[in-house]
Amino acid sequence: MRDWSALEGSPSPLGVTWVEGEAAYNFALYSKNATAVTLLLFSEVDLSTPTYEYRLNPLMNKSGRVWHCRLRKNLIPGARYYGYQAAGPNEMKQGHRFDPRKVLLDPYARCVCFPTQFNRQAASQEGSNAGKAPLGLITTEPSADWTGDVAPAHTSDLVIYEMHVRGFTRRNNSGVTPAHRGTFLGVVEKIPYLKDLGVTAIELLPVMQQDPQEGSYSGYMPLNFFSPHHEYASEGKPFDALKEFRIMVKALHVAGIEVLMDVVFNHTAEGNEDGPNYCYRGIDNTTYYLLEQDGVRYRNDSGTGNTLNCGNPCVRKMILDSVCFWREEMHVDGFRFDLASIFTRNEDGSINLTDPPVIAEIGSAQELEKLRLIAEAWDPATYQLGQSFPGVSWLQWNGQFRDDVRAFVKGSSGLVPKLMSRLYGSCDLFPDDLVNAYHPYQSVNFITCHDGFCLYDLVSYNQKHNTANGHENVDGTDNNLSWNCGWEGDQDVPPGVLKLREQQIKNFCTLLFLSNGTPMFCAGDEFMNTQRGNNNPYNQDNEITWLDWHLLSRNQGMFRFFKNVIAFRKSHPSLSRSRFWREDVSWYGATGKPDLSHDSHSLAFFLSGAAQKDNDIYAMINAGWKPLTFLIQQGQPKEWHRVIETSLPSPDDFCEPALDVSLGADEYVLSPRSIVVLIR
């Protein structure tokens, strides 16, 4: 029997695959509209002139819309890198942008190489970019050995720590080996710190391959969806990035820490119609992108210049294949999908909230059943937080939690009812009625994240200070819901202002970890890291975004507070439940029922722990600017012991187990802008 695949190649899997039994490579590329495709192979020493060119014959090397071939290794000696050239209509009004002179990157490349002469501008202009184009790596390397790797799975003790791989350890004072600063291995060296802090999952800001000349530090402009960013490897080599990412994941798993990835499947680094022709637009522009009616301009629903056509079967497959790759080959435990609402776009750009295919396909893939799927359920054109988002079982970033808690702690009026909803688990957004049956843990609660102010800046700046970004301070949101505590910035801060800032940070921390749901906070918030008032440092690869570890030494009291509050939450399953608190919670005001009036700034609640075999908890919250006397409306005073009082300096602000700080009266005077938490 003749093996047709050995002769013609196979259309599956896409990308380049080593076929061990034939000592050959299989190449497969999707393009619906290309009229000709040429495979280019390059040696290690010459990335400009191909050592081998293979023009694919559509009568033999094409199946459906996939171009493919199979080449024996001994016939292409020295081939190390590869790319494609694709010919086809260059009719912009029809949406096509084929240029047969361009060297194009395989969307499925597992590692990406950038030649010494790599040049973004060359890809943006007409003509050849040979020797200046990113290329895929050809390798016979076997799959990673994951023997002994056990993925942790957290429930009530889940605490997510959002981290930028480079920014986490890039500074000289990070305490990391110089060669590992700003890399995956740098994260490995910081695992003892993460364990000491008590977080149980890290959420990595985008680590997929970026364009090193695009100008983005944050990682939200992906070039490729199947390879880790080469600059996060200790020596900046593409294949090292693959290996070192796996080393990091295995080490974190040993430490009991889940690895979540922030992924961007809504746009690419190719930008708008004036951007570079690296890959997708040159391979099949109308397949990969949503276009305006004129066929020339790109729809910009993502706010970054282009929008992936997530309704197209090819794009959906690429997204699903990427997620499966990172799960199966890299052992990632979950994903946070940036602008996940883009997944609800049909191929014509309309919105499908009933059953968008890509969400259904991710949710129904058997190999992805145990993954954490987290949605950012909004984009510049639509807001789908809560029931509107079609991924019914997904977790969602709760932007309403962020806004309501920020406004309440700041001192805004009319927010007590909203605070009650956020503490309870946001059942207004995630209802657990018979039809919906949401869980409170589906609400990812956060005060800060990579977007906007970090926590110290939230209490230190009334206005953004983004001049360094080069856009005359017009970029970044103006709706920060921040309050500088009476002094703008960090220069010559009066001691009283600094004390109040620390108290407000502790208030935010306490409310976050008292709330039912899944808590998340931003790396560095636990020791008052600052970005100098920049709320959009997307292009700041410098000390604005690199964590300043000297602040950990200076602010040990704040670190201790965060560490203890995290431990308190993890040891009290009453707080974080699979279901809402229901009859276990009683709401109070300072002296009676909750004061829900517009001018109220106070709230108390009692949470029974009996159903969870836990202690009872009583919390009193005064966001007002005057002292307020609270009547403890459950039990006898001597039964209660103080755990937290945010107005006190360290170490008195946290006294767990606090058996020697029992109450002597049923009244407790809370200082202005403070929280007290009791247990019995």
Q: Are strands 79-87 and 382-383 parallel, antiparallel or unpaired?
A: unpaired
Enter the tokens of residue 138: 């050809």
The residue from 8, 338, 379, 541 that is catalytic is 338
Record the tokens describing residue 241, joined without a space. Answer: 């990035």
- CA–CA gap between residue 42 and residue 48 (Å, rounded): 8
Per annotation, catalytic residue among 99, 376, 645, 653? 376
Joined together, the tokens standing for residue 475 give 């970029």
Contact in structure between 27 and 71 (CB atoms under 8 Å): yes
The radius of gyration of the chain's CA atoms, rounded to the nearest angstrom, is 27
> What DSSP assignment string belongs to 513-563?
HHSSSEEEEETTGGGT---TT-S--TT--STTTS--THHHHHTHHHHHHHH
Q: Is the dihedral of CA 199, 205, 209, 211 positive or negative?
A: negative
Euclidean distance between CA atoms 99 and 123, whole angstroms: 10
Q: Give kind and range of the element (H or E) at residue 510.
A: helix 495-514
Q: Is 196 a catalytic residue?
A: no
Question: Residue 184 and residue 163: Cα distance in Å, rounded?
Answer: 11
- 5: three-class secondary structure by DSSP: helix
SS3 per-residue string spanning 290-329: CECCCCCCECCCCCCCCCECCCCHHHHHHHHHHHHHHHHC
How far from 513 is each of 353, 619, 632, 677, CA to CA, in Å? 32, 12, 21, 12
Peptide bond into 417 cis (omega under 30): no
Q: What's the chain's length in residues?
A: 680
The pair of structure tokens assigned to 156 is 């009530």
Residues 116 and 312 sit within 8 Å (Cβ to Cβ): no
**Closest by Cα among 417, 426, 416, 419 to 405:** 419
Is residue 338 annotated as part of the catalytic site, yes or no?
Answer: yes
- Residues 401, 377 contacting (CB under 8 angstroms): no
Distance (Å, whole) CA 373 – CA 362? 9
Dist CA 416 CA 435 (whole Å): 28
Which are the contacts of 557, defined by CB distance < 8 A and separation ≥ 6?
502, 649, 650, 651, 653
Q: Report the amino acid identity of residue 506.
A: K
Are the beta carbons of 391 and 359 closer than 8 angstroms?
Answer: yes
Residues with a catalytic annotation lie at 338, 376
